[in-house]
Structure 1
Amino acid sequence: MTDGMIPAGVADGVLGAAREALRNSVRHAGSDARRSFVVHAAPTTLTAEIRDDGRGFVPELVPPGSFGISHSIVGRMRGLPGGAATVASQPGGPTVVTLNWRA
């Protein structure tokens, strides 16, 4: 890694996980839900937050094999050295997906 540069593989992984979180929001939050996507980047850290004020859900009740959350969001971030993801929601909303990477 060059000082001040986030590796391309990390950027690709975070972008892919964020894209899936946004896709899930569009599919499940409701047509009138508002969404935000905020990124904070520094030379050795990257945090992305995807939030909506839609229907919400109980993350613990999502089947473990759910491709969208377990593979395309959490699994993708865990596959990055220093990567992690959390999904927080409750019925009635909001839903917040947080993606973190630390070099």
Structure 2
Amino acid sequence: MIRVSVKSTEVRNQSGVAKGSGKQYSLDFQTVWMHTVDRNGQPNPYPEKVEIILPKNDQGAALFYPMGEYVLAPQSIYVGRNGDLQISPRLTPLKAEPKAQG
């Protein structure tokens, strides 16, 4: 399970015309912090800054993630059309620990 921290709701847009197809594109990015591990499975000492591409709603607006703690959703990882493993990060909110009653 990869934990992800969202510290800002700021969205960065990148748009232009694709060189290959000549079609216009518009991508929205959000910066998140992923708590990763090294090749031996040991947690890295600090989270790593990552920009993820955001999905859009029916009107084309970016669906950003609110600030909070998340995990990488299982549907983020899939096999591409060439049979290779691919990732398109989607986040699932991390359930908060129940507060102790006192």
* Alignment TM-score, normalising by the size of structure 1: 0.24
Greater RCO, CA 8 A, separation 6+ = 1
* Alignment TM-score, normalising by the size of structure 2: 0.25
More helix by share: 1
More strand by share: 2
Specify the structure having the higher radius of gyration (Cα). Answer: 2
